[in-house]
Amino acid sequence: MKFAHLRVDGQSTPRLAAVFDDSAVFLDETMDDAPRDLQELIEKGDEEYDRVRALALNAVSHGATLTPLDKLRHSSAVLRPPQIIAIGANYAAHSSELKLRAESAATVFSLWPNSLTGHESTITWATDLTTQVDYEAEVGVLIGRAARNVSVQDALDYVFGYTVVNDITARDLQFSEAQWSRCKSFDGFTPTGPVVVTADEIGDPQDLRLTTHVDGRVLQDASSGDMVRTVAEIIAYLSQTSTLLPGTLISTGSPGGAGYSRKPPVFLKDGSTVTVTIDKIGFLTTHCRAL
């Protein structure tokens, strides 16, 4: 099933909806006690998901009102996550092009919740802070139940679903500081969406194609099978030292093709449009304004 946080023009508060092809049904229009967002749905567990899924499917089959997506606005596909964890240097090509050192352990850092935004949003940055804003296509993994010290073999059983993440990065800040959180956590620098697709619809997360178009040019084109550490290995690794709480978002790293490494470099600029697409999930478009 696909879920999104959507709103009608003029509304400021997003509402949880189930997405069917190019339309959506708002859950609060099909049930009296609908979860207010995906985080609440996940926290209530499998029984709640089964109930919501059944009610949504039943409502649609009995003629519930579906709203075309092109008449709605997207918020971040992930709201109120207890943690946003990012994995760096998880594709060999990306590590090489950025001249990052190959480490025996995963590179792990946090993204700040203010950076979350949705499909078709417009992000802004001040040019006196950064002039090297880059794109990164990433598979986003949403944890479905508390995971502590899980095995690689069992790790995917803890996944609720997957989404598209564009891990936008201020490269000049990244390489001037000893940490990576601030350069990737400007307001709006972590677009997610357009939807979260439940794990049963994705199957093998290492068999997904990722592409990035910037102003009409294909600049990234790779497979999630090229990850240095698989989704299952990442979850198992992180769960060794701390509990991954339900709703945790893990951004699993970007393949090669970043703008920083191109000759000449290709950075996002005022008026740029970047679209990240991942098989079975969809495409996530972000518009850019440099101030």
pLDDT of res. 94: 46
User: Across the chain, what does the average pLDDT equal?
Assistant: 93
What's the average model confidence in pLDDT over 29-53? Answer: 95
Asked if 202 and 271 sit in the same domain, the reply is: yes
Asked if 165 and 38 sit in the same domain, the reply is: no
What's the average model confidence in pLDDT over 220-246? Answer: 96
Q: Which residues contact 33 (CB under 8 A, 6 or more apart)?
A: none
Residue 83 pLDDT exceeds 90: yes
pLDDT, tens digit, 9 for 90 and up, residues 237-276: 999 999 999 999 999 999 989 998 888 999 999 999 999 9
Question: Which CATH number belongs to the domain containing residue 200 in this structure?
Answer: 3.90.850.10
- Give how far the C-alpha of residue 181 lies from the chain's centroid of Cα atoms, to the nearest Å: 16
What's the average model confidence in pLDDT over 41-53? Answer: 96
DSSP one-letter string for 11-26? --S-EEEEEETTEEEE
Total domains in the chain come to 2
Q: Tell me which residue range forms the domain holding 22.
A: 2-73
Residue 95 pLDDT exceeds 70: no
* β-strands 249-251, 137-143 pairing: antiparallel
DSSP character at residue 36: S
Asked if 206 and 248 sit in the same domain, the reply is: yes
What's the average model confidence in pLDDT over 78-94? Answer: 88
In a domain, 79, yes or no: no
- 73-82, 86-95, 138-147, 226-235: segment of lowest average pLDDT: 86-95
If pLDDT is split at 50, 70 and 90, which confidence band does 91 have?
A: confident
Asked if 148 and 247 sit in the same domain, the reply is: yes
Asked if 93 and 214 sit in the same domain, the reply is: yes
Asked if 118 and 175 sit in the same domain, the reply is: yes
If pLDDT is split at 50, 70 and 90, which confidence band does 106 have?
A: confident
pLDDT, tens digit, 9 for 90 and up, residues 149-203: 999 999 999 999 999 999 999 999 998 888 899 999 999 999 999 999 999 999 9
67 within 8 A of 26, measured Cβ to Cβ:
yes
* Gap between the Cα atoms of 47 and 272, Å rounded: 43
Asked if 69 and 100 sit in the same domain, the reply is: no
pLDDT of res. 254: 93
Asked if 116 and 246 sit in the same domain, the reply is: yes
Residue 28 pLDDT exceeds 60: yes
pLDDT of res. 208: 97
Asked if 27 and 114 sit in the same domain, the reply is: no
For residue 246, is the peptide bond before it cis, meaning its omega torsion is within 30 degrees of 0? no
pLDDT above 70 coverage of the chain, percent: 96
231 within 8 A of 139, measured Cβ to Cβ:
yes
* β-strands 72-74, 209-214 pairing: unpaired
